[in-house]
Amino acid sequence: MAKVTIPIGPQHPALKEPACFTITLSGEQITEVDMRLGYNHRGVEKACEERTYLQDIYLLERVCGICSHAHSSAFVQAVEEIAALEVPKRGLYIRTIIGELERIHSHLLWLGVAGHEIGFDTLLMYSWRDREVVMELLARISGNRVNYAMNTFGGVRRDLTPDLCAEILAAVDILEERTKYYIGVVMEEVTLIQRLSGVGYLSHEDAVARGAVGPTGRASEIASDTRKDDPYAAYPYLDFHTVTDNHCDVYGRALVRVGELMQTYKILRQLVQELPDGPIVVKAPRKIPAGEALSRYEAPRGEDVYYVKANGTDKPERVKVRAPTLANLASVAKMMENNYLADVPIILAAIDPCFSCTDRMIETLNMDSRAGRLTDFRQLRQFSINWYKKRGLDFTALNKKLILKQDS
Amino acid sequence: MATSLFYILVFPGILFLGLFSLALEFFDRKFHARMQNRKGPPWFQPLADFIKLSAKEGIIPEEANATLFRLMPLLALTAATVSFFYIPLWSTRALYSFDGDLIVVIYLLTIPTLAFFLAGWVSASLYSMLGAVRALTQLFAYEVPLFMAVLSPAILAGSWSLSEIAAFFNDKPLFIIFNVPGFLISLIALLGKLEKVPFDIPEAETEIVGGSFTEYSGRYLAFFRMAVDIEMLVGASLVAALFLPIGLDLHPVAGFIVYILKVLFVVALLSVLRTIFARIRIDQMIRFCWIYLAPLSLIQILIAFIVKGLFLQ
Amino acid sequence: MKKPGKMLSEVLKSLFKKPATLRYPYIKEKMPKNFRGLINFIQEKCIGCKICMRDCPANVINIIKIADKKFEAEFKNDQCLFCAQCVESCPRDTLEVTPEYELATLDRSSLKVRYHAKPDAETKTEPQVEIK
């Protein structure tokens, strides 16, 4: 059969965010995958340099909508290290509780999305219904369902009352029971297993070579978990184990995620029962002394890395974000080899991609040689004006009007 | 002449068919939603969708073959509608009947699938093309088991006429139990025909956007959706007539209610099936149909021959 | 044990349960007590330190001095990201969170709110809010 090249993205029902996968098919089988990212560059890192540290927490929290606490925690940890702030133990525990609740909500969300990608909408409806339990709980603790804004330098912003602690324990009981049911579904439902097992194979060696992180790596038997390897916050005091799997495929990734949910319930029970008394926050200075720090945080999707450089003012000199999706994207092309077109959405979804978190820089590619070229903003603007002019669209008049309006 | 026109246009013809199929779509969607612990749409939603879509602009791609693009929804709708007239609904007599109408109905029910294929093919879009090819591939998988499954009641009754088959089972209702495997096979094949989960491969939303219907919009899409609804009604009625021929000699009103209940029962079964499964891949679908369904339908035919030889000679 | 239709019993049970979804515009979810919704400004408490202005990540707040020890605030709520840092930064409890979350509007400028100072301090307790 003749080869067909079809685009998946930048806009496609399987993708929740823009990214472009150009897939060459022979019949239904994939022969070649080409990936293009960068549709969602927001200039977050640069914006950080122009705001104060305190403002940056809320900006960085919005790098990702799902693992928002992961991003702000990683940033706060880095700054606390530079400023040598000793966070009270109760603050660390509450920070960890929010982080683990977020992991529940992220993994349940993933389960639903994975179900939707393989046409199993019932799983989506049920897992998202149960996810509401944890969302409500987060709203009660932090004041919002997403973007909890719990972190601040030197601790957390809101305290846990005994009532809330009891609510967390009750919610964990409900969720544990539901998760056991989903584990049953994943292990028993034949159509689900048929669609997941053997799909998107990534061998242990490939996973190591391509630097897979988080559940993607753990499903290929990479026992790496920042919570264990480089314990932060309250993790040194906790008893849990890293979930790995030897399936190396999408099925394995699903098993790792539901297995991790069970570990999370265990962690949460320990955290709430051993919650120490004392203050939740220490006073942090507005100006952070000069220095630099690298902070690692195990986000639900994998390891989140932050680098912060301070220069003694109230604004950071440099903030670098490495979202977990970026580390996993290198594996995606390998996973797609020799699979069917029908498997593309689920293979992609299996790394739990978050393209907006990943897009960090803009690079213009020369379409003929595929070589990169750096362009500054002025050149880029001129290029886009000419590009539209060539197609008969002239915005100069409109631009002038806009500038006039702004001036007046 | 006037009564014929009334039959065709109003009852049990096009008007009844259209409204009932929309009601059936509502029932399917509501039932599906309730099983997913959702509220589901209000009762007028399918009708509202139809009216709204009909009022919208229908865009035809520049590269597409405009004539065929416009004709395909009508072809699908007509074929599905015509096949309805040969199915006995609440009595042992269909509106029109002749010897061999079973074959005609089955062939008429294949035409919508061919229309989906052609519609996707002439749309000049990659997603449509893939959807079209998948629709046709799938047709080869479920069509043979479906044919063989409906053959078994015909063998038992010794007739190719749907009305005569219904009359036969009305006389000897116990013979229905020998057709249970055929009933299950035809339910599964019907899922494939109606492109519902787990066999919604030709229009798998997350893979190929909308399959054959990707480029369709406005009233063309409205007619296609109507055709799918009518196909569901006709399919359910056919299964009900062949495998659940009960309550056919009742008073027409009671018979009509029994008929509605039978159709709702079949649609509810389809609804349950599409709720509890994940969509499978096209290769898995073909393997499933040929490895499990086809042999099972052969066994069903064998059962029919043995039963006929033992009890009906 | 692999078998098809694992969720069958669960979906059938759901038929007899109340739906988990709400008919949103008619039935509304109640937000918890200290939900971070729309920020309210209590004009008479303001001392004009402008810490909230400086800490706001989205430049929402503008405190304007109109007379001696009298301050008005202008909130560009279309930019607000509801972190409630201003509430925390304020040394005098001038700002408070409200559970108001239905802020969607077709007219962006209607979200710009100015809290006017009262001509006389004793007349009313509620701040007058003028929506532009």
Of B36, B207, B278, the CB nearest to A341: B207
CA nearest B202: which of B137, B148, B150?
B137
Q: Which of B269, B276, B293 is the mutation pick for testing C, counting most C CBs within 10 A?
A: B276
Q: Which of C1, C3, C7 is the mutation pick for testing A, counting most A CBs within 10 A?
A: C7
B280 CB neighbours in chain C (<8 A) are none
Given CB atoms, is A3 within the 8 Å cutoff of chain B? no
Given CB atoms, is C88 within the 8 Å cutoff of chain A? yes
Name the residue of chain A whose CA is nearest to B275's CA. A122
Cβ under 8 Å to A: C residues 99-128: none
Is residue A346 within 8 A of residue A118, CB to CB? The reply is yes
CA nearest A248: which of A197, A309, A304?
A197
Output A197 or B313, whichever has higher pLDDT. A197
Output C84 or B4, whichever has higher pLDDT. C84
pLDDT at C124 (0 to 100) = 47
pLDDT at A382 (0 to 100) = 83
Q: pLDDT by residue (tens digit) across B245-283?
A: 877 777 778 888 888 898 999 999 999 988 888 888 888
Amino acid A114 reads A
pLDDT at C119 (0 to 100) = 65
pLDDT at A406 (0 to 100) = 63
Q: Do C36 and A190 lie within an 8 Å CB cutoff?
A: no
Of A14, A126, A191, the CB nearest to B278: A191
C-alpha distances out from residue A319 to A43, A127, A138, Å: 11, 36, 28
A364 has pLDDT over 60: no
Given CB atoms, is C54 within the 8 Å cutoff of chain A? yes
Q: pLDDT by residue (tens digit) across B143-181?
A: 889 888 888 888 888 888 888 888 888 888 888 888 888
Q: Do C97 and A143 lie within an 8 Å CB cutoff?
A: yes
Mean pLDDT of A178-189: 88
How large is the ipTM?
0.86
Residue length, chain A? 408
CB pairs under 8 A between A and C: 67
Q: pLDDT by residue (tens digit) across A123-171?
A: 899 999 999 999 989 988 888 888 888 888 888 888 888 888 898 999 9
Q: Do B37 and A14 lie within an 8 Å CB cutoff?
A: no
pLDDT at C132 (0 to 100) = 44
Mean pLDDT of A230-236: 86
CA gap A294, A280 in Å, rounded? 24
What's the gap in Å between the CA of C106 and the closest CA on chain A?
A: 21
Q: Do A195 and B276 lie within an 8 Å CB cutoff?
A: no
Q: Give me the CATH code for the C31-131 domain, please.
A: 3.30.70.3270
Please count the other Cβ atoms lying within 10 Å of the Cβ belonging to residue A282. Answer: 14
Output C71 or B23, whichever has higher pLDDT. B23
Q: Which of C3, C14, C83 is the mutation pick for testing A, counting most A CBs within 10 A?
A: C83
CA nearest C39: which of C26, C49, C52?
C52
Range of the domain at B63: 2-311
Q: Where are the domains of chain C?
A: 31-131
Cβ under 8 Å to A: B residues 18-47: 35-38
Q: Do A126 and C10 lie within an 8 Å CB cutoff?
A: yes
What's the gap in Å between the CA of C28 and the closest CA on chain A?
A: 14
pLDDT at A145 (0 to 100) = 86
CB pairs under 8 A between B and C: 35
A203 has pLDDT over 60: yes
Q: pLDDT by residue (tens digit) across C9-64?
A: 888 888 888 888 888 888 888 888 888 888 888 888 888 888 888 888 888 888 88
Q: Do C32 and A184 lie within an 8 Å CB cutoff?
A: no
Q: Do B38 and C17 lie within an 8 Å CB cutoff?
A: no
Cβ under 8 Å to B: A residues 15-34: 28
Element spanning A316, H or E:
strand A316-322
pLDDT at B25 (0 to 100) = 92
Of A52, A149, A188, the CB nearest to C36: A149
Name the residue of chain C whose CA is nearest to B39's CA. C19
What's the gap in Å between the CA of B205 and the closest CA on chain A?
A: 7
A209: Cβ contacts below 8 Å, ≥ 6 apart: none
Q: Do B37 and A125 lie within an 8 Å CB cutoff?
A: yes
Helix (H, G, I), strand (E, B) or coil at A7: strand
A91: Cβ contacts below 8 Å, ≥ 6 apart: A154, A155, A156, A279, A280, A281, A282
Q: Do A126 and B37 lie within an 8 Å CB cutoff?
A: yes
Output B93 or B213, whichever has higher pLDDT. B213
CA gap B44, B49 in Å, rounded? 9
C2: Cβ contacts below 8 Å, ≥ 6 apart: A188, A190, A193
What's the gap in Å between the CA of C23 and the closest CA on chain B?
A: 8
Q: pLDDT by residue (tens digit) across A9-62?
A: 788 888 888 888 888 888 788 888 888 877 777 888 888 888 888 888 998 888
pLDDT at B268 (0 to 100) = 92
A239 has pLDDT over 50: yes
Q: How many domains does chain B have?
A: 1
CA gap B173, B92 in Å, rounded? 13
Mean pLDDT of A361-367: 56
Cβ under 8 Å to A: B residues 131-190: none
Is residue A22 within 8 A of residue A5, CB to CB? The reply is yes
B208 CB neighbours in chain A (<8 A) are 341
Q: Do C11 and B276 lie within an 8 Å CB cutoff?
A: yes
Q: Which residues pair with A293 in a beta bridge?
A: A308
Mean pLDDT of A383-404: 77
Of C5, C35, C57, the CB nearest to A55: C57
